[in-house]
């Protein structure tokens, strides 16, 4: 992959695809609750601006809905709040275009001088960005290409997406991978090529269906797999336990049974929690109770792993030389159900080896606990992208940059 140092950027209009998909306050204020992804994108933006490029940043935010640009723009979320935070963090103005390939983008770019930074509105306001129809995506990419002279792909969180700004656009312009993408790929290589052992993988998060592919591949790599979070209940159901009103993907129970069998066959230690923190409803103020993992009462849902499981998981991480962690152990957004996730995060800080945290929510959790980010080997900005890489899939955004 070419890096920024390999292409001409000085005095050029550089279209930079970043991942600025930050979590927003769900209660209505729309405020940014964790700006980790903006911070992770700063070095490349700064570097390009310092090299005298005119940096035109493209990014998406959330999952806009609607038939066309106008409907989506009316529904939001707009990247305006991100432009403001980016300007603060950069310490220089960031011009914001209220469209992607319309009059605002054109005039914003025309008004830029060398070293200026601009952000275009949410790329996903254009339905063509994510279209399955190649020609629709290419048309949008062609319109975007008119705004720039070169392309830099630095949105690691989206490199697994075959989307106009990620996959089609780099094919139309001289292109390079940004430093963040280069660094992320280097770490993922260390997780897949001859990792130091014991190699422990911790998986959590909400949906087991998102993670089944990666578990399959990781069973061929890891020595131990610890499972928590919402996905654990489908595993508990696969063992024949009642899970009350916990998250359950009933149509994946058989796949979980297959994973359990495969782990046993391959000699991979698969560790499930022995106790669970349950509550009668999904709410921050719901009263927590600790129960055995095989005795979740009817009408209760599991929202975190219990204290014995926290100790068990920490002990299974203590001797690790390589750790990959994706997915919170519980609903860490509610303080009463954050202890399991905190315990895993703390255990990782004590590991003497390479520790990698993948996943937007997992990374946000680590930061929300106030843990020193430098005590982790690497905090990845891309959950889905890391998972697909570890699954052994080819990632369209990387393929396009390599070409």
Catalytically active residues, by annotation: 37, 207, 360, 384
Enumerate residues 141-200 that contact ligand ADP by CB under 6 A: none
Q: Which residues are CB-contacts of 193 (< 8 A; sequence separation ≥ 6)?
A: none
Q: Which residues pair with 271 in a beta bridge?
A: 226
Q: Toward ligand ADP, which CB reaches closer, 244 or 360?
A: 360
Tokens standing for residue 166: 């990620």
Tokens standing for residue 209: 């269906």
Residue 155: contacted member of Mg ion, ligand ADP, none (CB under 5 to 8 Å, by partner type): none
Enumerate residues 328-347 that contact ligand ADP by CB under 6 A: 328, 330-331, 333
Number of residues that bind ligand ADP (CB under 6 A): 20
Query: Which member of 198, 327, 382, 396 binds ligand ADP (CB under 6 A)?
Result: 327
Report the residue closest to Mg ion, judged by CB: 361
Between 277 and 316, how does the x/- string for binding to ligand ADP read (CB under 6 A)?
-------------------------xx-------------
Q: Toward Mg ion, which CB reaches closer, 19 or 361?
A: 361
Three-state DSSP at 243 gives coil
Closest separation in Å from C-beta 330 to ligand ADP: 5
Closest separation in Å from C-beta 154 to ligand ADP: 19
Q: Toward ligand ADP, which CB reaches closer, 148 or 340?
A: 340
Q: Tell me the Ramachandran region of residue 28: left when phi exceeds 0, alpha when psi lies from -120 to 50, beta otherwise.
A: left
Residue 382: contacted member of ligand ADP, Mg ion, none (CB under 5 to 8 Å, by partner type): none
Tokens standing for residue 196: 């130091």
Rounded CA-CA distance 335/100 in Å is: 39
β-pairing, 289-292 vs 275-279, is: antiparallel
Q: Toward ligand ADP, which CB reaches closer, 229 or 244?
A: 229
Contact flag: residue 273 with ligand ADP (CB under 6 A): no
CB 32 within 8 A of CB 23: yes
Rounded CA-CA distance 175/108 in Å is: 22
Closest separation in Å from C-beta 360 to ligand ADP: 4
Tokens standing for residue 2: 């070419």
Tokens standing for residue 65: 């809905």
Extended beta strands in 12-53, E state: 13-17
Contact flag: residue 361 with Mg ion (CB under 5 A): yes
Contact flag: residue 19 with Mg ion (CB under 5 A): no
Contact flag: residue 358 with Mg ion (CB under 5 A): no
Tokens standing for residue 106: 């054109």
Residue 357 CB-density burial (10 A; 0-12 exposed, 13-18 middle, 19+ buried): buried
Contact flag: residue 34 with Mg ion (CB under 5 A): no
Three-state DSSP at 338 gives coil
CB 346 within 8 A of CB 403: no
Of the ranges 30-38, 119-127, 170-178, 356-364, which one interacts with Mg ion (CB under 5 A)?
Answer: 356-364
Residue 178: contacted member of ligand ADP, Mg ion, none (CB under 5 to 8 Å, by partner type): none
Of the ranges 43-51, 234-242, 335-343, 354-362, which one interacts with Mg ion (CB under 5 A)?
Answer: 354-362
Extended beta strands in 3-136, E state: 13-17, 54-58, 94-97, 117-120
Residues in contact with Mg ion by the rule CB under 5 A: 360-361
Binding site for ligand ADP (CB under 6 A): 204-206, 210, 229-230, 247, 302-303, 326-328, 330-331, 333, 359-362, 383
């Amino acid at each position: 992959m070419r890096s920024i140092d390999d292409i001409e950027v000085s005095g050029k209009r550089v279209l930079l695809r970043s991942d600025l998909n930050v979590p927003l306050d769900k209660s209505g204020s729309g405020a940014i609750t964790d700006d980790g992804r903006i911070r992770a994108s700063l070095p490349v933006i700064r570097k390009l601006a310092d090299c005298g490029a005119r940096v035109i940043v493209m990014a998406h935010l959330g999952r806009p809905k609607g038939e066309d640009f106008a409907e989506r723009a009316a529904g939001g979320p707009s990247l305006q709040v991100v432009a403001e935070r980016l300007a603060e963090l950069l310490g220089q103005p960031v011009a914001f275009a209220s469209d992607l390939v319309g009059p605002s983008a054109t005039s914003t770019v025309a008004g830029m001088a060398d070293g200026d930074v601009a952000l275009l509105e949410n790329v996903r306001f254009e339905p063509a960005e994510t279209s399955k129809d190649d020609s629709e995506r290419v048309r949008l990419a062609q319109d975007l290409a008119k705004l720039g002279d070169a392309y830099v792909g630095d949105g690691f969180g989206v490199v697994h997406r075959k989307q106009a700004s990620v996959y089609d656009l780099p094919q139309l312009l001289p292109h390079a991978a940004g430093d963040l993408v280069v660094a992320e790929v280097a770490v993922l290589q260390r997780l897949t090529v001859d990792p130091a052992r014991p190699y422990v993988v911790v998986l959590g998060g909400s949906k087991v269906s998102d993670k089944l592919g990666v578990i399959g591949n990781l069973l061929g790599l890891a020595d131990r797999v610890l499972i928590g979070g919402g996905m654990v209940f489908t595993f508990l159901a696969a063992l024949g336990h009642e899970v009350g009103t916990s998250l359950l993907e009933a149509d994946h129970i058989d796949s979980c049974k297959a994973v359990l069998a495969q782990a046993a066959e391959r000699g991979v230690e698969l560790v499930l929690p022995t106790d669970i923190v349950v509550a009668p409803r999904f709410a921050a103020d719901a009263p927590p109770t600790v129960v055995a993992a095989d005795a979740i009462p009817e009408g209760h849902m599991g929202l975190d792993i219990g204290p014995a499981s926290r100790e068990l998981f920490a002990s299974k991480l203590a001797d690790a030389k390589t750790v990959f962690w994706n997915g919170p152990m519980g609903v860490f957004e509610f303080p009463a159900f954050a202890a399991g996730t905190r315990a895993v995060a703390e255990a990782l800080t004590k590991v003497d080896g390479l520790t990698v945290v993948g996943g937007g929510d997992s990374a946000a959790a680590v930061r929300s606990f106030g843990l020193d980010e430098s005590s982790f080997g690497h905090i990845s900005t891309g959950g889905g992208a890391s998972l697909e890489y570890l699954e052994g899939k080819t990632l369209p955004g990387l393929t396009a940059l390599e070409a």
